[in-house]
Structure 1
């Protein structure tokens, strides 16, 4: 399993960067997890739009799904459009982004497959299982297994024991860490810090902790240090073009 980070900024993309987006590859199958602002230009540096085999979207905030629109346009508005793209998301999560174009324009470009809390399903060679995690809108964390390796991804979420259960024994926990340490009071139910992610990674006994969704301008070293205070495994910060191979 190979993970390539397309973008990892929280809320909006910093200069030359992109919001949440991740390309997972295994046995020639390409699964994109989240497609936030500016992720499609990053994606197209590595694969053609027609080469994406499936998309999973954690929730409907635009910094996680806005670039589904240009990906679908790149597939639909060509002389030889590929078969409809399977897109996995919670019910209603993609209503806004799918309504950006005139009715029917992209209808043949995708096949929407709704996921549920606790659901398990196959996406190519990946075995996926989902768990609702607390956020300001419905948010599906996902656990993806392939080739004997496991990656768990939180989407955006406040601290929850369900994160630990989602990530239990995973090789990699890709965890939202918008803030370094203290989460502002108004966001504490909906967002997490690097320090909290470290504690949850330790409780879940994961092999790697990869912090993502940092607020633009956040010092990556400070985030790593805060996470490392409660977790003695490997900690890294997701950045565009970071590649992690899980042998």
Structure 2
């Protein structure tokens, strides 16, 4: 299994960067997770729009799904439109982004499936398990398994007992870490710090930890130092172009 980070900025894309976006590949099958702001140009540097086999969206904030619109446009308006793209997201999460165009124009470009908490989805060689995790809007934690390897992804989440199950013995935990050590009180139920992510990875026995969704302007070193207080394994920050095979 291989994951390529398209972007890891939280909230908005900083200069030269993109928001959340991850391409996961196994045995020639490509799953795009969270096509946030500015991720499509990064994606097209390595694969064509029609080569994406499925899309998973953790939640409906635009820094996690806005570039679904240009992705579907690229597929629908190209010279040889491919088959409809399976898109899985929590109920209602994509209403706004899909409303950007006349529904008729994109109607044949995708098939939308609701990602209900606790659902198990089969996407090519991938088994996808889901958890409802606390955020400002409904958010699905995702656990992708293929070929005996596992990627766990939190989306954006506050503290939750379910994180231990989501990340248990994962080969790689991709964890939201908006702040280095302390989440402001008003957001504490809905977001995580790098320190929190390190604690989750340690308790779950995750093989690697990749910190993502850092607030723009956050020094990656600060996030790494915070996570390392709780986690002693392989640790890195999600930045555009980072590729990890496991």
- TM-score using structure 1 length: 0.98
Where does structure 1 lack aligned partners over 5 or more consecutive residues?
Answer: none
Q: d(CA) in 2 for partners of 1:221 and 1:126?
A: 33
Q: d(CA) in 1 for partners of 2:172 and 2:55?
A: 19
Q: After superposition, give the CA deviation of every residue in 1:201-247 in whole Å (9 maximum; x if it has no partner).
A: 1111100010000001111111111001011111110100000001x
- Structure 2 residue 132 is the aligned partner of structure 1 residue 132: yes
Which residue does 1:67 correspond to in 2? 67
The count of aligned residue pairs is: 246
Which residue does 2:55 correspond to in 1? 55
Which residue does 2:87 correspond to in 1? 87
Residue 78 of structure 1 and its aligned partner are, at CA, apart by: 1.6
Which residue does 1:15 correspond to in 2? 15
Which residue does 2:190 correspond to in 1? 190
Q: d(CA) in 2 for partners of 1:117 and 1:222?
A: 33
Q: d(CA) in 2 for partners of 1:79 and 1:149?
A: 36
Residue 113 of structure 1 and its aligned partner are, at CA, apart by: 1.1
Q: d(CA) in 1 for partners of 2:103 and 2:77?
A: 15
Q: d(CA) in 1 for partners of 2:151 and 2:61?
A: 22
SS at match of 1:231: coil
Which residue does 1:44 correspond to in 2? 44
SS at match of 1:211: strand
Q: d(CA) in 1 for partners of 2:51 and 2:28?
A: 10
Where does structure 2 lack aligned partners over 5 or more consecutive residues?
Answer: none
Residue 79 of structure 1 and its aligned partner are, at CA, apart by: 2.4
Which residue does 1:29 correspond to in 2? 29
Q: After superposition, give the CA deviation of every residue in 1:37-93 in whole Å (9 maximum; x if it has no partner).
A: 000000000000010000000000000000000000000012210000000111111
Cα RMSD of the aligned pairs, angstroms, is 0.6
Q: d(CA) in 1 for partners of 2:232 and 2:146?
A: 26
Q: After superposition, give the CA deviation of every residue in 1:100-137 in whole Å (9 maximum; x if it has no partner).
A: 00131101000011111111121111110000000000
Residue 27 of structure 1 and its aligned partner are, at CA, apart by: 0.4
The equivalences for 1:78-157 within 5 A come to: 78-157=78-157
Q: d(CA) in 2 for partners of 1:113 and 1:195?
A: 34
- TM-score using structure 2 length: 0.99
SS at match of 2:103: coil
SS at match of 1:104: helix
Runs of at least 4 residues off by over 4 Å: none
Which residue does 1:164 correspond to in 2? 164
Residue 170 of structure 1 and its aligned partner are, at CA, apart by: 0.4
Q: d(CA) in 2 for partners of 1:78 and 1:236?
A: 37
Q: d(CA) in 2 for partners of 1:133 and 1:217?
A: 26
